[in-house]
Every structure is written in structure tokens, then in C-alpha cells.
Amino acid sequence: MRLVGVAVFVTVMLVGISTAWAYEEVPVTEGGTVAGTIRLVGGKPVPKGFNLITFPDPVYCGRISTGTGWRILQDFHVSQDGSLKDVVVLLADVTKGKPFTFAPPTIEARDCRFLPFVSVVRNGSEVVVINMDPVMHDIQAYETSHLGPRVLFNTPLPMNPHHQRNVGADSHEHLAGLPMKETVHMTKGRRIFVMQCGFHAYMESWGMSVDNPYYALSGPDGSFSLSDVPPGDYTLVAWHPGVGVMMEKKITVAPQQTLQADFVFESPRGRRSVHEIEDNPHFGLGSLGKAVHIRPSLELQTP
């Protein structure tokens, strides 16, 4: 297992929020709405960069790269006005409310990425992972908090056997392999889990477990909305895997009213990872002793 990467993950020091009650589904009358936007101030953080020649399948996975042999993990999606996408927003202390229906999330390994980058899971529910790439992946999943990481599952993710054998930068064939289904069982006090590919460390996917239906993921404009909230006092939580803090607000929801609740995160500063882009003439595409042509035919990434 690639414990170096996980050691970086757990530095976010997220504190789990545990509840001691079971959620009760009841009719909601005169429910309110909690809406808001998420912004990131301080500029976009320095992205994590991975030298492709140190990992398998550099040519295929290099279809998304810098053109100089580096693959960038884009873990922050920030608009020009600072709106932040992929923030999980939830009410942490709801004891009863609208029906809690939940469809297990599906995560795709596509173009050497896990999509989506952030998911929401229900504790004790399944997560489905499908390999769409013509290369092998290996799923290593951990739950994490200030208590440190714990392995949830570690499973190979085979490709579809009908993929062509020799794939290059111009191959855009995507055939789904057999779906891998794993049940997420978080230990008490933990809500956060992360998946990483054991072969390609730049493949990450993060998730938060929820115990009630009052949650949302912020969109590209940073907006979120929680509807049919029973009137009352609650704790509103916002979390993004790259920021390193879990923000909270105490709110009061009035009957049939919309409460505006915005969050502002500060951009992480300094070195966030052991993986950063560095120019080194002794550690380039020719260091393997043979020609390696890594061409970003799908996406040219910029730091």
C-alpha cells in the first residue's frame, strides 16, 4: 500500500462529528430552506504534481498532463470570483425530518482520474467503483480523522478484457469493467474517507458519510441549498478535502423561510504535499534510458 500518500491525507486533521440517535422520518410541514455560497479567498493553492515516469502507464495516463511529463491533481475547482465547487454542506444534528432515500454513489476510474472527486455516502451503504480505462487500477480506501487512517478496503479494479491490448495517447476507448461494490463501515467518530489508486497516486476520490438527508455538494458557482428543513436550531457544517478544516455555523431555521448561510475558506498556504512540480534535468523523460513520448492529447494541464 502507498502509505506515503496517506500520510499526506491525514494531515487535514478532520474531527469526526458523531450522533447518538437514529434519524426518524416524519412529515415536514412549514419546512424552511438553508441556502448559501462557498468562497475561497487567498488564491488557488499550488496543485499537487506527479512525475509520470515514476508510475505505470505514463503514456496513456499522460493524455492529461502538462506536456513536460507531469500529471497535476486538480483538487480545487475555483471560479474567477472565488466560488468553490465540491464542498459538502450538511446539517449535523437533525434528529427527524423528510425521507432519507439514498442511492449508492458510483465512482468511475476514467482517464486515470476518479470521478467524481468528492462524493457523499451513507454509512453502511455501498459504494460502486467501475474501471473505464484500458489499464489496471488498484483501489485503496481509508477512513481518516485526527485519529489517523484505517483501511476500509483494498481491492484490485480490473479493466474490461475487451479493451485493446496496446493503448497510446490517442486511444479514447472506454469500456466498463465489472463494477466493484464495497460497503462503507465507518468507525465511531469518523466521517471522512479517501480512495487512492495503488498504481497511480494522482488518482484520489474523497467522501463524507451522512446520517440524514440534509446535505448538498456546492456547484461550480459555489451555491448549495437544503430544503424541507424542520424549523429549529441546528449546526451547519461545510467541508472540502483540500482545505484542512471543517467549518461550523449555528443556525436557526424559521418556518417557510429561506436562511442565507455563506462560508468563506482560506486557501492553504505552503507545501501541501510531497508531490510538487520541480524542474530537475536528472529526473526527466529521458532518465529511464529510453524515449518516452508523453503527449497530452486529451487535456493540456497548467499549474
User: Can you tell me the distance from the alpha carbon of 120 to that of 105, in angstroms, rounded to the nearest whole number?
Assistant: 7
User: Could you tell me which residue, 148 or 227, shows the higher pLDDT?
Assistant: 227
pLDDT at site 286 = 60
Q: Grade residue 13 by pLDDT with cuts at 50, 70 and 90.
A: very low
The Cα–Cα gap between 176 and 178 comes to: 7
DSSP letters for 34-47: EEEEEEEES-PPPP
Residue 277: its pLDDT value, please?
79
Q: What are phi and psi of 167, to 5 degrees?
A: -115, 145
Q: How far apart are CA 67 and CA 298, in angstroms?
A: 11
| Residues 153-188: tens digit of each pLDDT | 899 999 999 988 777 777 778 999 999 999 888 887
Contact yes or no for 233/144 (Cβ under 8 A): no
Asked if pLDDT for residue 139 goes beyond 50, the answer is yes
**Using one digit for the tens of pLDDT, what is the confidence trace for 48-96?**
899 998 899 999 999 999 988 899 998 999 999 999 999 999 999 999 9
Which triple of cell numbers denotes residue 30? 412549514
CA distances (Å), origin 164, targets 4, 137, 159: 33, 16, 11
Question: Average of pLDDT values for 22-39?
Answer: 95
pLDDT score at 293: 83
Between 302 and 172, name the one with better pLDDT.
302
pTM (two decimals):
0.86
Q: Which residue has the higher pLDDT, 251 or 303?
A: 251
Q: What is the CA radius of gyration of the chain?
A: 21
β-strands 96-97, 24-25: how paired? parallel
Identify the residue with better confidence: 220 or 2: 220
pLDDT band, very low/low/confident/very high, at 107 (cuts 50, 70, 90)? very high
pLDDT band at 144 (very low <50, low <70, confident <90, very high): confident
Mean pLDDT of 222-229: 98
- Helix runs in 187-274, H state only: none
Q: In this predicted model, what pLDDT tens digit does every residue of 255-293 receive, in sequence order?
A: 999 999 999 999 988 777 777 777 765 666 665 556 678
- Cα separation, 195 vs 107, in Å, equals 10
Contact 39, 32 (CB under 8 A): no
* Predicted pLDDT at 271: 74
pLDDT of residue 21: 61
The average confidence (pLDDT) of the chain is 86
> Tell me: the pLDDT tens digits for 193-213?
999 999 999 999 999 999 999
Q: Residue 120, Cβ neighbours under 10 Å: how many? A: 16
Confidence bin at 7 (pLDDT 50/70/90)? very low
* Confidence category of residue 99, pLDDT binned at 50, 70, 90: very high
Q: What percent of the chain has pLDDT over 70?
A: 88
